[in-house]
Structure 1
Amino acid sequence: MKNTLLNVTINTTDALGLARWWAAAFDGEIVAENDGWFVIVSLGEGRTGLAFQRVDDPAQGNRIHFDFGVADRAEAVTRLVDAGAVLVAERSMPEFSWTVLADPEGNEFCVATHH
């Protein structure tokens, strides 16, 4: 049986607000919204979706992690920072480098040039 990852879920105190941010940051679309309790963002046909679940007290720390491949890392990082992301670090190893960013609630994610 083939398994497909449908959504990656983030616990947050503001599911709709954070879903809107991620949808805007990655040209996604909110495709389901249950009174701000559970919100699903589609990133396009055939891609894993993102889900945001409202909770009273989300666990501290980075419980999940996303790695995004982009055509132009510098342009993507600039656009994301302009949209409210925070630059955490620039990292590299031989023949590969990436940027660590954090969304408005401090959830870290990475952006690398897609090969």
Structure 2
Amino acid sequence: MTVTPAMITCDTTDATALATWWAEQTGGTITEENDGWYVIVSVPDSPTLAFQKVEDPTPGKNRLHLDVLTDDLDAEVARLREAGAGLVAERGDENFRWVTLTDPAGNEFCVAQRS
């Protein structure tokens, strides 16, 4: 017997705002809002994203993060930063590069060039 990942859920103090940001960045659609306490984003050809309102998110560095792919790393990082993402670090070498960013709630995620 095995399990199948079905959804990636993120705790936040403003589920609607963070879900809206991620829907805009991924081309996804908010498919459920549940009075702003649990908001679901469907993303084409990707796992479902969910954002759960909590009073006090777990402090410190998140232990689980999203890795997203793009066809143009530099252009996508610039677009995400303009949309409100924060820069953590540019990483890698001439063989493979990626950039670690934060979403507007401070959750880290990585962007890499599609092979």
Report the Cα offset of residue 27 of structure 1: 1.1
What secondary structure, in the 3-state scheme, does the structure 2 residue paired with 1:35 have?
helix
Preserved CA contact (<8 Å) 1:10 1:64: no
Alignment match, 1:53? 52
Using the size of structure 1 for normalisation, the TM-score is 0.92
The one-letter code matched in structure 2 to 1:64 is L
- How many residues get paired? 114
Using the size of structure 2 for normalisation, the TM-score is 0.92
- CA RMSD of superposed structures (Å): 1.4
The one-letter code matched in structure 1 to 2:47 is T
Cα deviation per residue 1:2-60 (whole Å; 9 max; x = unaligned)? Answer: 6432211001110011000110111111011100010010111x420110000111101
Runs of 4+ in structure 1 displaced over 2 angstroms?
Answer: 1-4
State the distance in 2 between where 1:47 and 1:5 align.
Answer: 11
Consecutive unaligned residues in structure 1, runs of 5 or more: none
Alignment match, 1:33? 33
State the distance in 1 between where 2:84 and 2:50 align.
Answer: 19
What secondary structure, in the 3-state scheme, does the structure 2 residue paired with 1:30 have?
strand
Alignment match, 2:109? 109
Q: What percent identity do the matched residue pairs reach?
A: 52
Consecutive unaligned residues in structure 2, runs of 5 or more: none
Preserved CA contact (<8 Å) 1:39 1:53: yes
Deviates most, 63-72 or 75-84: 63-72
What secondary structure, in the 3-state scheme, does the structure 1 residue paired with 2:35 have?
coil
Deviates most, 1-10 or 65-74: 1-10
Please say if 1:100 is aligned against 2:113: no
